[in-house]
A and B are shown apart, each in its own frame.
Chain A
Amino acid sequence: MRDALRDPANQVSPRARSLWFAEAVIVTVLLVGGLVLLSMWMTGWEFLPQWLLDRTWVAGLVIGLLLIPFVLAEPVVRFAVHRWELAADVVYARSGWLSRKWVFVPVSRIQTVDKAQGWLERFFGLATVEIRTASYAGSSTIKGLDYEVAARLAEELSRRAQELRDDAT
């Protein structure tokens, strides 16, 4: 899409990298922890070959090692991909990691604007703005914004949406 669309103007907060890193670490820890628990239970599985039964922790280790590059890459890639912009009364947002998503939401069609902050986001001083229209394909979620930026954006959007009052759907 480099030839067709320009990048949205604004990056998300640099602290979003920490958020994505923390989320990836949590998921990995849960996954590996689950595998370790499973491996403790697996020792009773007679049908598995003996060499594997002696080393049931291998599964957790292998998965953990395989995931490390992803955990390290995801925050960096996301920070480069996730961008947003409000221009000419249209919200333009890009997101994704392995896949990509570009969303265009005209303010005149916005139905609800949500500003949300989960506990992890709160810890990093970040927030998410969710913009909804009458269609899932015209709805956008901008993650990893600085709290103040998110608050301003949400306020601006709901104020403008009200001024434009265009009920065509």
Chain B
Amino acid sequence: MSLPFQEPVPEAARLSPKLLLIDPIRVLPSLLVPLAGVLVAGGFSPRSFIWAALGVAGSVLYAVVRWATFSYTITGGRLELSRAFIGRSTRVIPLERIRGVDVTTPFLHRLLGLAVLKLDTGAGGDKQEGELDGITVEEAERLRAVLLSRHAPIVQERPAAPGDHVFLRVPRAWLRYGPLSGAYLFTPFALVAGAVGLAFQWGGELGLDEDDAVAVGEWLWGHPLLLVGAAVVLVVLMPFLGAAMYAVFNWNFVLFGRGDHLVAERGLVNRRVVSLERRRIRGYEIAESPLERQARVARLWAVVTGLGDSQTRGQLLPVAPRAAVDDIAAEAVGPFSEALRPHPPAARRRRLFRAIAPWVVLALVMYALGYALIGIAATVLAVAGIALGLDRYRSLGHTYDGTRLSVRSGSLRRAQAVVERRAVVGWTIEQSWFQRQAGLVTVIAGVGAGAGGYKAIDAGETQAAAFAAEVTPDWMAPFLKR
């Protein structure tokens, strides 16, 4: 007799046994080389055939054991994947944490009516997501329906139209800031490499072969002036082609609002349109190269939950004057003007040591070995390291204004992130052996968006704990020493 309201006890399900037909075949390619080796080395004797047969039988057995020891269950609002092979492991995934379900049917699976179901939980790392490899297509569809409690509405990514609220049309004049970012500088080399690759790819069709390629190479080698000239031309072209490329990609950049989305549109040849759901924007990142800092321009990205490839897709502005960047950041996320708190003097010593010491060591070794020229070069770099180290220290900082936290760091390229408090999902404090000697730590705010974690490097020990406690007092209070 069963009690009322009692859930039926769910049975653990297994993957389809048809998987046993696929698994050994998939293992086969990795077995092929050793098998061929055994057959060739053994001279196709009966003994080597026995070894080969054992290898195949082993892979079949392995597939059977893997199949028999894996099971999955949906019970009480969660999915449990358990494997009891040599080691035992159980993975529990609460259903409401599942953000997406991806059903694919690779070729062999399709033949047998099977599918692979992959779960996107937004958890960091690739192997951390759940996977059911080898369930029937019907089961995959059933699971998809069960697992997907909600799904994000699909938005049409189309260009700006009347009725959209335009935040900013980037003036053409701003395109001149492009080369300052250092982006696309290597365009000339990329083009040459592309041309060479194409020549190799299509060369066969045009009646060219490897001998011709070698002949061309030798001819070029015989004319060093030509090579040097070509190299000089490529280097001279760097800023021009880089600027042209930048202009092509960022032509007529428009940022506008459509409903509850922020849409960025850009490009001369292809108009690229990316829309970001505003309620999923959790913060922004600003980056500046040294040249950009001189010219008071910067780049801006949105930190968005559930957005892969955020460095391209999350871009809110091309290289733009700092004032415009701050305006758009305030529009997309909210104004942030809190001053950054500096890190302790020990952090400056550490930055300086790391920027200088390797070059000093190299210089000493090279002088000792008699390579004076390399020694001088290393000495110059060591001296430059003083300025670099001091600049790295000045880049360090963190702060919290009551709703958003901010961290900044960087060597040459200075990057500042501003993230909402509600986006923080945990804290990690790391301390290397060297940091321990200096009484410093790196505190990382875990964020389920953007880069996944934002670091305040070389903060003081008490400073770091106090920072975490200031942002999320409920979580940290029980563990602080008073």
Contact = CB atoms under 8 A, between A and B. Distances in A.
A51 interface: no
B326 to A, nearest CB: 26
Contacts of A110: 94
A134 B92 contact: no
Interface string B433-461: 10110000100111111001100000001
Contacts of B97: 111-112, 167
A80 interface: no
A102 B464 CA distance: 11
Chain B contact patch, size range: 35 or more
B426 A135 contact: yes
Contact of A134 (B88, B89, B123, B478): B123
Interface in A1-48: 1, 3-6, 8
Interface string A43-81: 000000000000000000000000000000000000000
Nearest to B434: A99
A110 to B, nearest CB: 8
Given A112-B91, A136-B446, A167 B478 contact: no
A124 to B, nearest CB: 13
Nearest to B121: A111
B425 interface: yes
| B interface: dominant SS | mixed
A158 B468 CA distance: 25
A142 interface: no
A46 to B, nearest CB: 23
A138 B453 CA distance: 8
A135 B453 contact: yes
| A interface: dominant SS | mixed
A132 B128 contact: yes
B480 interface: yes
Contacts of A161: 94
Contacts of B424: 138
A162 B430 contact: no
B479 A134 contact: no
A149 interface: no
Contacts of A85: 479
A162 B94 contact: yes
A104 B480 CA distance: 12
Contact of A114 (B90, B305, B423): B90
A136 B90 contact: no
B77 A162 contact: yes
B124 A4 contact: no
A1 B441 contact: yes
Contact of B89 (A3, A114, A140, A168): A114
B313 interface: no
Nearest to A168: B422
A121 B87 contact: yes
Given A135-B447, A138-B446, A103 B426 contact: yes
Contacts of B106: none
Contacts of A113: 91-92
Nearest to B454: A137
B93 interface: yes
A169 B90 contact: no
A87 B425 contact: no
A135 B453 CA distance: 7
Contact of B94 (A100, A111, A115, A139): A111
B154 interface: no
Interface in A117-144: 117-119, 121-122, 132-140
Contacts of B94: 110-112, 158, 161-162, 165
A161 B429 CA distance: 23
B481 A4 contact: yes
Contact of B479 (A5, A114, A140): A5
Contact of A137 (B93, B428, B431): B428
Given A4-B465, A104-B468, A112 B128 contact: yes
A136 B87 contact: no
Contacts of A158: 78, 92, 94
Contact of B448 (A87, A96, A100, A134): A134
A136 B431 contact: no
**Taking each of A4, A99, A167, which has the highest tally of chain B beta carbons within 10 Å of its own beta carbon?**
A4
Given A3-B462, A111-B122, A136-B453, A116 B88 contact: yes
Given A6-B479, A109-B425, A135-B124, A101 B446 contact: no
B54 to A, nearest CB: 23
A88 B448 contact: no
Contacts of B462: 3-4
B222 interface: no
Nearest to A121: B87
A100 B447 CA distance: 21
Contacts of A132: 121, 123-124, 128
A113 B92 CA distance: 5
Contact of A1 (B76, B305, B426, B465): B465
A104 B448 contact: no
B84 to A, nearest CB: 9
Contacts of A133: 123-124, 425-426, 446, 448
B474 A135 contact: no
16 contacts: A4-B480, A6-B479, A6-B481, A90-B479, A100-B436, A101-B431, A112-B93, A112-B94, A116-B88, A118-B87, A122-B88, A135-B426, A135-B453, A138-B424, A139-B446, A162-B76
Given A4-B462, A112-B94, A137-B452, 5 more contacts: A3-B461, A3-B462, A100-B436, A111-B93, A138-B448
Interface of B: 76-78, 86-94, 96-97, 121-125, 128, 130, 305, 422-433, 435-436, 441, 444-449, 452-453, 461-462, 464-466, 468, 472, 474-481
Interface of A: 1, 3-6, 8, 85, 87-88, 90, 92, 96, 98-106, 109-119, 121-122, 132-140, 154, 158, 161-162, 165, 167-169
